[in-house]
Amino acid sequence: MFLVLYFLTPMPKGSASLRNGVILLASLLFYAWAEPIFVLILIGQCVTSWCFGLLIGKYRGKPICKVILAASISLDLGVLLLFKYADFFVLNFNAALGTNITLLRLILPVGISFYTFQMLSYTIDLYRGKIQVNRNLLNFATFVSMFPQLVAGPIVRYAEVENDLERRKHRVEDIAAGLRRFVVGLGKKVLIANTMGELIQHYTSSEENAVLFSWMYVTAFALQIYFDFSGYSDMAIGLGRVLGFKFPENFNYPYIAKSLTEFWRRWHMTLALWFRDFLFIPLGGSRVKPLRYVFNVVLIWFLIGFWHGAAWNFVIWGLYFAAVLLLEKYVLGKYLDKLPAFVGRGWVLFSVLITAVFFNAYSFTEIGETLSRLFGLGESSFAGAESLYYFRSFFVPLLLGIIGSTPLPKMLADKAIKKFRVLEPIGMTVILLISTAFLVDGSFNPFIYFRF
């Protein structure tokens, strides 16, 4: 229905404003589906950021411009801190000082971390002179609230869609490629990520302390979060392409990386680049003395972890990555460069699998218990009846997930389609039908990154 209305909307003299209006209306309705009141917050932030942008454009190069930028950043971050982190700070303040301050218990607006970063990128890049002022509020609101990538990314910077917001072309080949990308993303989420989620549920509801079961769990979680998040990114990029936008890529087979540095060039690339360009480089990046570099890395990864959630397990997750990245740079890197590639890949996979323990935990006790099971400490056994049963039941899905996280399936599919073009529409139809059947038959299972 949306696409029909969108393509029936005219583009007088090539202007995309009318079609942007259709996207904006659909985006606001889409967002209101979760919680109508939050639409007002989204609209309010769009208007204020746009107004700050006009002021930055007017006073750029003058001392007052820094004040305007600081006010804009403070407002955007203030809203994020209020909704996402207020109760976290109150809880820890109460625990530290023995006070009893009442929690706000605010509901977290869906996707607030993502659209906040998009607005920040606009005002900061505008201050730096990298983009032009957007004087069309409708177009700017479309950029901020565009529903394909609003709730879970990729994080789109204004510079990447600046021209497309004004004028864009809709070609049949782009629409077809976008629809294919959308179907592939849907299949990744529904057929693989959801299946891994079932295995995780079996593990979390089990009382068996088995090494095998624990490694199955962290492997399943690594696959689930990859196919869940990259699947959503594929769907967003695909639908964006149908609408005439070219959103940035967000994943590039991260599990084949030979170092953790390379892993983070391949995983959630828009987030990593955002922190690099707007925080790490302004802090001096890697062109500083070793102690300052260590400080920069620890600070950035503390913030990346905290960005993911208002809980200590996410902070630990971020600091863990800071530690292993520094270990790789100063100690292991020179050895990994000389060793066969499989050694580096093994180091990456081991390090990343361990992060599942932190990322998906709800308490320090849970972190300790899972780590103990992974390494056979305490009362852990290697395998029990339950773990062996689920190993047999999920062996094929796990194997398919592992293979699917490499470029091999795409390479084979591209070769087959090159010889037999009919395989592509057949394959897309099959994926769509099976995914739809799974969705109809299954329970509600939202994307993991919706909560961030």
Mean pLDDT of the chain: 90
**Residue 452's pLDDT band (boundaries 50, 70, 90)?**
low
Query: What are 31-83's pLDDT values in tens digits?
Result: 888 778 889 999 999 999 999 999 999 998 889 999 999 999 999 999 999 99
CB 232 within 8 A of CB 447: yes
Cβ neighbours for 253, distance < 8 A, ≥ 6 positions apart: 266, 405, 406, 407
For residue 16, the model assigns a pLDDT of 87
DSSP string, 346-357: HHHHHHHHHHHH
Query: What are 281-337's pLDDT values in tens digits?
Result: 999 988 899 999 999 999 999 999 999 988 999 999 999 999 999 999 999 888 888
Flag whether pLDDT at 368 surpasses 80: yes
What's the whole-number mean pLDDT along residues 257-275? 94
What's the whole-number mean pLDDT along residues 333-356? 91
Whole-Å CA distances, 103 to 92, 98, 114, 243, 311:
11, 14, 24, 42, 15
Between residues 187 and 449, the one the model is more confident about: 187
H or E element that contains 269: helix 269-275
Whole-Å CA distances, 217 to 151, 200, 210, 397:
27, 6, 11, 13
Of 71-75, 190-194, 342-346, 362-366, the least confident: 362-366
What's the whole-number mean pLDDT along residues 421-441? 87
**Residue 384's pLDDT band (boundaries 50, 70, 90)?**
confident
Flag whether pLDDT at 338 surpasses 90: no
% residues pLDDT > 70 (the chain): 98
For residue 12, the model assigns a pLDDT of 87
For residue 423, the model assigns a pLDDT of 87
For residue 239, the model assigns a pLDDT of 94
What's the whole-number mean pLDDT along residues 136-155? 88
Active site residues: 308
For residue 104, count CB atoms less than 10 angstroms from its CB and return exposed for 0-12, middle for 13-18, buried for 19 or more: exposed
For residue 366, the model assigns a pLDDT of 86
Query: What are 193-205's pLDDT values in tens digits?
Result: 999 999 999 998 8
For residue 442, the model assigns a pLDDT of 65
Biggest CA pair distance of the chain: 73
Whole-Å CA distances, 265 to 228, 291, 317, 404:
19, 23, 18, 19
For residue 120, count CB atoms less than 10 angstroms from its CB and return exposed for 0-12, middle for 13-18, buried for 19 or more: buried
Question: What are the start-end ranges of the H helices in 309-384?
Answer: 312-327, 333-336, 341-359, 364-374
Phi, then psi, of 167 in degrees rounded to 5: -145, 135
Flag whether pLDDT at 207 surpasses 70: yes
Of 5-9, 170-174, 380-384, the least confident: 380-384
Flag whether pLDDT at 29 surpasses 80: yes
H or E element that contains 137: helix 137-145
Angle of CA points 306, 308, 311, to nearest 5°: 55
Flag whether pLDDT at 445 surpasses 70: no
CB 398 within 8 A of CB 223: yes
What pTM did the predictor assign? 0.92
For residue 262, the model assigns a pLDDT of 95
User: How many Å apart are CA 153 and CA 149, to the nearest integer?
Assistant: 5
Flag whether pLDDT at 439 surpasses 70: yes
For the chain, what are the domain ranges? 2-168, 173-451
Flag whether pLDDT at 385 surpasses 90: no
For residue 36, the model assigns a pLDDT of 83
